Structure 1
Amino acid sequence: MTNLMAAIALAVLASGIDASANVPIIRVSIVPGRMDGSRGSGNVRVAIDVPGVHVDAGQPLFDFPTGDDLVVTDARGAVDIASRGAGEDRFYVATRAVDGDLRIAYRVAIRNSVATGGTTPIFPRVDGDGFSALGMAFLATPHVAGSYRLALRWDLSAMGPGATGVSSFGDGDATVPAAPVDRLRKLVMMAGRLNREPAAGGTGKFAAVWSGDPGYDLRPTMRWAQRLHGWMVDFFRTPDDPAYRVFARENGGLNAGGGVAFPNSFFQTWGRGVTGDSMRGILAHEMVHTFTANDLGRWYVEGDAVYYQVRLPWRAGMVSTDQYLRDINMTAYRYYTNLKIAAHEDEIDPAFFSNPWLNTLAYDRGALYFAQLDGMIRRKTGGKRSIDDLVRVMVRTGRDGETITDETWFALLREGIGEEAVALTKSMLAGGIVLPESDAYGPCFRRVAARLRRYELGFTVARKPAGTPVEVKGLIAGSEADKAGVRNGDMIALPLLTSDGPRRDFAATVTAQVTRDGRTFPVTWAPRGAAVDGYQWERVAGVPDSACRP
């Protein structure tokens, strides 16, 4: 989910490799006002100072995602600006040439809404007496070439006693070494009277902070994540990586429990139906991204995250063998019932956020491919090598700043296995069926053929925000929705049916509020349709749990 070169650049820079005092500094000042948690609102003033800017009139000067009271100055005084583009592509140009030190100052008015929850938490939000934000939806990004150090400064005086500021760069004020200015877009920030785990703050390799109250104690979950992170550092052999930070906050509307990963940090959300235990899966998934993300396609980036998300906690003794088996079977179930199972990899990215079938395929196909490839490597080397060895080489290649392409991966496959591994990869990318060997997941499991029911809502509805009543049309006779009592013409308020819900969990049900003849009542059904041929894995009788983990 993260871009490798940005992630690698930030990881290397934050480790202090390039601390040249001669590199110019972009200074970012963040001055929050007092946050109103009861209303979910607050204001934050931001100023960004960029030295030695020379930009001709009419040329892009900076991106500006949100804000009011915008004032831009340079060495000659006020700069008149004009916007170009719209939405995420909006940027600003100056009506005259800009010379000297550039200042971009503005105010961000934070107002919580369903939109600022979102399926991914990228927008500024107030929780309790604190706020959180992500650079791409909060900070102006200057259009300047080259590398800059970045100095982040907090003024928290208006937030009251006990307020602290934390970012991807560390606790409080922070200055990080040189990198392209685009790293501002991936900067995570949180300020207020924050909860922390460890309570002493972010002085080690792991820290978690959150504002607001999820209604339960997050500390056990964050201790679990801290332990897993330490285990992954050893597994991926990256002891020099900078500290990893988890920023947790409420999801105000959509996809509660989801999150989004950035270099050495992760935004985790809580909300309706989310518990501390249920957060662990996505924490593990996104943590894998911190180590393995690169510029290859989603088949690699999401595939290896799904492959490892429970496998590594299982190997670390942090989840049970039954939990690991369930994760294997959920992945296999989704893949073999996917309506777009034969789609070419090139079809996925353009429709990743609009086609749920292609969205889930990006995750599941890659995960099964890694399992099949692992078995191929182990057989080729008599068990001396595994997929882990190849992934570690890729991690090190990225940490060394080398460019990673498909050919980088193909060269590793040719050297370690042979052309049959390259052929498997190309077949997978072209939409060929992926089928791991029966013992691909170890001696405790074996593959069995199964009839698996494909996801099917049972009727057609217009796309509208979750919870908005829409008319049921095209009810499929005999479908589970039909059997449960849904009828054409009903007004139905559905929950959010994201790829993280019933589409991902074959055992999940849907509960919706149906209005008919002036009466509203709940209806629950399993959104499953016709059965197709597929595969699952089961425990092998007589093999003790102690023999399962590699």
Structure 2
Amino acid sequence: MAQSSPQVDVKLTPIASDGSVTTVRVIETLTGLEGGPDRPLVSVPARIALTPGQAYAAEEVVFADAAGPLSVRMDVDQPPPGMPLQMRSFTPLRAIAGPVTVTYAAKVTPALTPRKPGPSYDLRGVEGGIGGAYFSFLLMPLQVPQVDVHLAWDVADLPQGASVISTAGGADYTARLAPMDVYSTFFLVGRVHGLTNPGSPFQAYWIGTPPFKADAMVDWSRKSFTVLQRFFQDPDAKPYTLLMRPYLRPRDGGGATRGGFMLEYGVGALDDAARRIMFTHEMVHHFVGGLDGDSSANAWYGEGLAEFYKVRLPLREGLLHIVDVAREIGIMTNAYYSSPLVTTPYAEVGKLRWAGGEAQSVPYNRGFMYFINLDAKVRAKSGGHRSVDDLVLAMLERRRAGRPYDKAAWRALLQQELGAAGGEDFDRMLRGDLIVPPEGAFGDCFTRHSATHPRSELGMSEDSFLVAPYTVTGLVPDSAAARAGLKEGDAITSFTGVTPRVAHSAANVTVGPTVDVVVEREGKPLLVSFATAGAPMVEYSWTLKTKHPAGCVL
């Protein structure tokens, strides 16, 4: 490899104690970099969305160069609202001399330790294996456009049979790429289980013990991946790697990257159909990606299309039953209309997205409804000859040709397809106008209904009722819950009126008209009751016809 880019050589050594990997020792050698008191040498995320990075103290990261020990200053930035990344940077206090060696250790968190919902980047371990992404702990020179990076895992001190699997390959990884692209690699290390198929680019590996039949789920997901690859006309036959690790929350979650994704299988009773739909959502990201520019401001595109195609394409190929699709449509449309942010301008939603709460789900449900409505309009104007599929494939052609893959390109396609109305509808979605797709938006198998009823307002984070020990968190000031006497941090000993729901891309709880919560105050139980009825809302729903025609499609 030519030496025109700085080099980053990384040796990663997992350290085990009593059968569990507790830390990853890292030794980096940085060559060809310039640095001094006026610019950071390396950085690492302190927070990615709501997922914390490694909380390195300055003295825990040791620097040295040809002149000896290298003192550095550590800074943690304060990003503006809505920015998903908060960075921790290390700046030399003198000019560097020659190659720099950086030595530090990343801590591994037990897999079932509670955390807020967010990308699956942090280092977590279970049953002798660990999983995560380089995003959460690896120091990289972000000030340069590209690096020649070589990462090597040394698992010689782990029990026999230890292995390394990643979305970029195995134990050794060599490439020239942007430093941020190194971060998006997911991996599993240690006691890793797997199912491979030499005839398919789709492979699957996991740590821990999934609460489902892994072989059947992997076989189905491989078929779904093939359907997506064919539909999106992907010329890239590179391997695609599904990685899995356990998660304390009831429903499954995960994070996607080009070349694979990390699934976090939850402790709730997510059924096979719902899990298959969720797997497909994550795989759609591999093909569609995200628009250029601010990821939070543009998340409606990638997340909305992943929601749109996660049911549409498997149904077309007979991989999902229409009954399971109808249930998922009901969950997604309800999530849209019941959101307290349903009419909030998307520019504001983007700023709130990584503050926690309702804003995280808006790109999913609003994006889904936008594409369903747009699809119906494209079909109507073209007499059924064209659909959203044509616009999405045209966008992908632009990206493969090296042309802009951004909001302006999307707007131009809309105006070409639908005239001024296409751009106007797009603006209405971004503005927060209520989206009401037509009767036949989901095909001839569904009937549209509407109803007006109060919006349920829990008045606190749903996490308060999801993971024991239950604790009041995210209490909304002046909510009915707060007015009834609940306080932030109250220990909840029992409750009724809140029911955990295991669903993808929707609220994790359903709320009844009245919630009763028993909290402990000064060593004594206290009952707090409150009504959840908020302002009236109009909800549209699409239900499967009792006698629906055979071969339902969306």
Q: TM-score range by the shorter chain?
A: 0.7 to 0.9
Matching residue of 1:82 = 73
Matching residue of 2:278 = 282
Whole-Å separation in 1 of the counterparts to 2:165 and 2:280: 22
Whole-Å separation in 2 of the counterparts to 1:528 and 1:195: 48
Whole-Å separation in 2 of the counterparts to 1:73 and 1:311: 55
Determine if the alignment matches structure 1 residue 53 to structure 2 residue 33. Answer: yes
Could you say what the CA RMSD is over the residues aligned between the two structures, in angstroms?
Answer: 3.9
**Closer, same or farther: CA 186–488 of 1 in aligned 2, 3 Å:** closer
Which TM-score applies when normalising by structure 2?
A: 0.82
User: Cα offset for 1:459?
Assistant: 8.0
**Closer, same or farther: CA 427–308 of 1 in aligned 2, 3 Å:** same
Picking from 8, 30, 39, the partner of 1:26 is: 8
Whole-Å separation in 1 of the counterparts to 2:530 and 2:93: 60
Query: Aligned partner of 1:59: which letter?
Result: R
**Closer, same or farther: CA 330–217 of 1 in aligned 2, 3 Å:** closer
User: Cα offset for 1:207?
Assistant: 1.6
- Three-state SS of the structure 2 residue aligned to 1:403 is coil
Picking from 178, 189, 192, the partner of 2:190 is: 192
Matching residue of 1:549 = 553
**Closer, same or farther: CA 427–271 of 1 in aligned 2, 3 Å:** closer
Matching residue of 2:357 = 356
Whole-Å separation in 2 of the counterparts to 1:476 and 1:218: 43
Matching residue of 2:492 = 492
Whole-Å separation in 2 of the counterparts to 1:365 and 1:21: 47
Whole-Å separation in 1 of the counterparts to 2:205 and 2:407: 37
**Closer, same or farther: CA 36–183 of 1 in aligned 2, 3 Å:** farther
Query: Aligned partner of 1:504: which letter?
Result: A
Whole-Å separation in 2 of the counterparts to 1:473 and 1:370: 32
Matching residue of 1:412 = 413
Query: Aligned partner of 1:311: which letter?
Result: R
**Closer, same or farther: CA 506–28 of 1 in aligned 2, 3 Å:** closer
Picking from 168, 179, 182, the partner of 1:181 is: 179
Matching residue of 2:304 = 303
Whole-Å separation in 2 of the counterparts to 1:160 and 1:461: 40
- Three-state SS of the structure 1 residue aligned to 2:108 is strand
**Closer, same or farther: CA 435–305 of 1 in aligned 2, 3 Å:** same
Query: Aligned partner of 2:306: which letter?
Result: A
Query: Aligned partner of 1:259: which letter?
Result: G
Count of aligned residue pairs for this structure pair:
520
Determine if the alignment matches structure 1 residue 539 to structure 2 residue 544. Answer: yes
Matching residue of 1:139 = 138
User: Cα offset for 1:129?
Assistant: 0.8
Query: Aligned partner of 2:367: which letter?
Result: G
- Three-state SS of the structure 2 residue aligned to 1:272 is coil
Which TM-score applies when normalising by structure 1?
A: 0.82
Whole-Å separation in 2 of the counterparts to 1:29 and 1:496: 47
For residues 206-225 of structure 1, what are the structure 2 equivalents within 5 Å?
A: 206-225=202-221
Contact persistence 1:197–1:223 (CA under 8 A): no
Report % sequence identity: 26
Whole-Å separation in 1 of the counterparts to 2:460 and 2:31: 58
Determine if the alignment matches structure 1 residue 291 to structure 2 residue 295. Answer: no
User: Cα offset for 1:539?
Assistant: 2.8
Matching residue of 1:7 = none
For residues 444-523 of structure 1, what are the structure 2 equivalents within 5 Å?
A: 444-457=445-458, 466=467, 467-470=469-472, 492=492, 504=507, 514-515=518-519
- Three-state SS of the structure 2 residue aligned to 1:329 is helix
- Three-state SS of the structure 2 residue aligned to 1:48 is strand
- Three-state SS of the structure 2 residue aligned to 1:98 is coil
Query: Aligned partner of 2:35: which letter?
Result: V
**Closer, same or farther: CA 441–91 of 1 in aligned 2, 3 Å:** same
Whole-Å separation in 2 of the counterparts to 1:403 and 1:387: 19
Query: Aligned partner of 1:268: which letter?
Result: L
Determine if the alignment matches structure 1 residue 130 to structure 2 residue 110. Answer: no
Q: For structure 1, which runs of at least 5 residues remain unmatched after alignment?
A: 1-18
Q: For structure 2, which runs of at least 5 residues remain unmatched after alignment?
A: 46-53, 79-85, 293-297
Deviations 1:99-150 (A, max 9, x none): 3323222122324276675423321111111112211211111234132232
Whole-Å separation in 1 of the counterparts to 2:246 and 2:309: 26
Contact persistence 1:116–1:123 (CA under 8 A): no
**Closer, same or farther: CA 393–74 of 1 in aligned 2, 3 Å:** farther
